[in-house]
């Protein structure tokens, strides 16, 4: 196992935190990035906003200073929702979700690419959602942002696949988070009935897929969409 320099966006809580902890436990050097710059669970942290190019640049530079070298693995996990019905969705809500979830991932990949090309090694993992390929009522902005990550990863794969760089998408389904815990009992039951596994996933189950994709063993996997959804999307 080779210890890598790993930057996880949105790694200060939720799924991103589970990914950061799993990466650290696997022996990697980890820095988490978020707007607040919070450093949970003894992790190194930098402040950065993925919707702002200069902020992404500064956050990567700060992370590289901590590592003493380039970022070798980017987990583009930072994401937001602004749900609403199509008919009533303001431009601002559509744009904000695309700008953070899709363009934010692009900005991080672009910033990391020069160092990865030089190193002839890189792992880009984009955290999408089952909704990206399955669709979701009230989530035109979110779903479009998440399916856009597939095109992003596949184009990067075609552009940089010959330089030892892989780009993949992980598509979680329903995950045990504060959000799902707050759903009424009957809604939780209905969702679970639709999931072949019959339950929600733990954040650690999403993290395990990301850790694998970042590993040396996953060198020949690129442009893939890995669902972690208990069979809900049937592999898309
Ligand atoms: P949370 O809402 O718990 O956390 C979101 C993270 O993103 C926070 O760390 C937040 O930090 C960060 N963030 C948000 N906006 C920005 C920004 N502009 N720049 C930098 N960081 C930002 O999210 P979850 O853990 O629930 O979800 C993580 C990812 O997984 C998201 O991409 C989400 O779409 C996806 N997903 C989640 C599912 C679920 O069930 N929860 C299911 C499927 C996919 P801060 O506010 O400090 O910036």
* pLDDT of 183: 84
Q: Report the atom number in ligand 1 closest to the C-alpha of 32.
A: 9
Q: Relative to the CA of 10, which ligand 1 atom is closest?
A: 9
- Whether the CB-CB separation of 74 and 112 falls below 8 Å is answered with yes
Mutate to test the pocket of ligand 1, among 50, 78, 102, 132 (most ligand atoms within 8 A of CB): 78
Task: Judge if the beta carbon of residue 78 lies within 6 A of ligand 1.
Answer: yes
Question: What pLDDT is stored for residue 182 in this prediction?
Answer: 85
Active site residue 142: yes
Residue 19 CA to residue 203 CA, distance in Å, equals: 8
Indicate whether residue 10 lines ligand 1 (CB < 6 A).
yes
Tokens representing 212? Answer: 């694998």
Rounded Cα distance between 136 and 134, Å, is 7
Q: What is the pLDDT of residue 139?
A: 96
- Is residue 76 lining ligand 1, measured as CB closer than 6 Å? no
CA 100 – ligand 1 centroid, Å: 10
Q: How far is the CA of 162 from the centre of ligand 1 (A)?
A: 31
105 Cβ below 6 A of ligand 1: no
Query: How many angstroms separate the alpha carbon of residue 196 from the centre of ligand 1?
Result: 25
Nearest CA to ligand 1 atom 9: 10
pTM above threshold 0.90: yes
What is the C-alpha separation between 118 and 168, in angstroms, rounded? Answer: 20
Regions in the chain scoring below 50 on pLDDT = none
Does ligand 1 come within 6 angstroms of the Cβ of 51? yes
pLDDT at residue 192, rounded to an integer? 95
pLDDT of the residue at 18? 98
CA 36 – ligand 1 centroid, Å: 12
Structural domains of the chain, with CATH: 5-228 (3.40.50.720)
Burial 208-224 (b: 16+ CB within 10 A, else e): bbbbbbbbeebeeebbb
pLDDT of residue 178: 81
């Amino acid at each position: 196992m080779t210890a890598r320099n790993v930057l996880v966006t949105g790694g200060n809580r939720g799924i991103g935190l589970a990914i950061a902890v799993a990466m650290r436990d696997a022996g990697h050097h980890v820095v988490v990035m978020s707007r607040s710059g919070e450093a949970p669970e003894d992790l190194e942290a930098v402040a950065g906003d993925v919707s702002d190019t200069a902020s992404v640049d500064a956050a990567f530079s700060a992370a590289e200073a901590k590592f003493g070298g380039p970022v070798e693995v980017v987990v583009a996990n930072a994401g937001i929702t602004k749900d609403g019905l199509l008919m009533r969705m303001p431009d601002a809500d559509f744009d904000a979700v695309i700008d953070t979830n899709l363009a934010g991932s692009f900005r991080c990949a672009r910033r990391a690419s020069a160092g990865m090309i030089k190193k002839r090694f890189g792992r880009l993992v984009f955290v999408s959602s089952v909704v990206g390929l399955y669709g979701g009522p009230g989530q035109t902005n979110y779903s479009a942002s998440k399916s856009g990550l597939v095109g992003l990863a596949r184009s990067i794969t075609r552009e940089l696949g010959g330089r030892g760089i892989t780009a993949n998408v992980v598509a979680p389904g329903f995950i045990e988070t504060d959000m799902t815990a707050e759903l009424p009992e009957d809604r939780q039951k209905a969702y679970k009935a639709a999931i072949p596994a019959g339950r929600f996933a733990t954040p650690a189950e999403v993290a395990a897929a990301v850790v694998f994709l970042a590993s040396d063993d996953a060198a020949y996997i690129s442009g893939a969409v890995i669902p972690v959804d208990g069979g809900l999307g049937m592999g898309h």
